[in-house]
Structure 1
Amino acid sequence: MNLHHRRHTGEKPYTCSYCGKLFSSSSGLQQHVRTHTHESPFSCSQCSRSFKQREKLKQHERIHTGVRPYMCDRCPSTFRVKNSLARHLRIHSGEMFQCGLCPKAFGELYSLKKHHRRRHDKLQFTSPGTES
């Protein structure tokens, strides 16, 4: 109950000795510290790839087992990772990420960012009339 209470009050008694970032749980701090130490204690028994987080190992193991627990309720598609299902659902909802500088729209935020870097960041450094 203590951790639950801290999440609501915003209390963060655990401090990273590397960067000073604060955490509400010791496990959150422990997971964060691995970003500094590059420790990856969770290893796959099939291919010995290792991960910083237990959840990432579980997701990876699904490659070997073929388990795809996240199912689309609109079509037969299944996914190993919850985020992949969320991204897929935008196909059905029509939700798009609109570029603020031109009429293009994208199904993934990553694609919009890539477009912006390739198309619009480049334009900042070209002379008028030399756009590609």
Structure 2
Amino acid sequence: MMQQTNYHWEDTRRTPRERQKATTANKVHQCPYCPYRATKNHTLQRHLLKHTGEKPFSCPYCSYETTRKEFLKEHINRHTGEKPFACPYCSYSSSHKNILRRHMIKHTGERAYQCAHCHYQAPDKQTLTLHIQTHNIDGAV
């Protein structure tokens, strides 16, 4: 005769994202040169390049060297004339992601830079700096 149990099983398995958070939250990689800490080893390795001065990515067209592969790809676009970053609002395209971001502000109206002295918001840091000068504050940015 089988004995009946009143045990209720709950599925407490974690999603892949929850498992990743749980394992990376426990692992901290400490920079041996400064207080910087990273949860991912590759992030620490990239940070270490600041201390060693190593620039493992070199341009085949000139003497430019950098610490990041994506920076080298964008730099090479200057030599080749390639403009892979296209605006979704118009026909504009750019050789650099940040240049496209700046261009897109014209379409989106984004104003990410907030004045610390009033409610003014600027689309870029340079415009905010010019605005702050209107406050006539000593030591302005």
Q: Give the TM-score range, shorter chain.
A: 0.7 to 0.9
Does the Cα contact within 8 Å between 2:29 and 2:37 map onto a contact in 1? yes
* Structural mapping, 1:84-123, within 5 Å: 84-96=99-111, 97=113, 99=115, 101=117, 106-113=122-129, 115-116=131-132, 118-120=133-135, 122-123=136-137
SS at match of 1:48: coil
Q: Aligned partners of 1:24, 1:101: CA distance in 2, in Å?
A: 36
TM score, norm. by length of structure 2: 0.69
- TM-aligned CA distance change 1:37 to 1:9, over 3 Å: closer
Q: Aligned partners of 2:120, 2:29: CA distance in 1, in Å?
A: 45
Pairs aligned (count): 121
The amino acid that maps onto 1:77 is Y
Q: Aligned partners of 1:110, 1:52: CA distance in 2, in Å?
A: 26
SS at match of 2:89: coil
1:55 equivalent to 2:70? Answer yes
> Which residue in 2 is equivalent to 1:16?
31
TM score, norm. by length of structure 1: 0.73
Does the Cα contact within 8 Å between 1:6 and 1:12 map onto a contact in 2? no
Instruction: Return 5+ residue gaps in structure 1 as ranges.
Output: 126-132
Q: Aligned partners of 1:8, 1:83: CA distance in 2, in Å?
A: 33
1:76 equivalent to 2:95? Answer no
The sequence identity of aligned pairs, in percent, is 34
Deviations 1:61-104 (A, max 9, x none): 11111111111122111012222222211101223345454686
The amino acid that maps onto 2:138 is Q
The amino acid that maps onto 1:55 is E
The amino acid that maps onto 1:113 is T
RMSD: 2.8
- TM-aligned CA distance change 1:32 to 1:94, over 3 Å: same
Task: Determine which structure has more spread, i.e. the larger CA radius of gyration.
Answer: 2
Instruction: Return 5+ residue gaps in structure 2 as ranges.
Output: 1-15
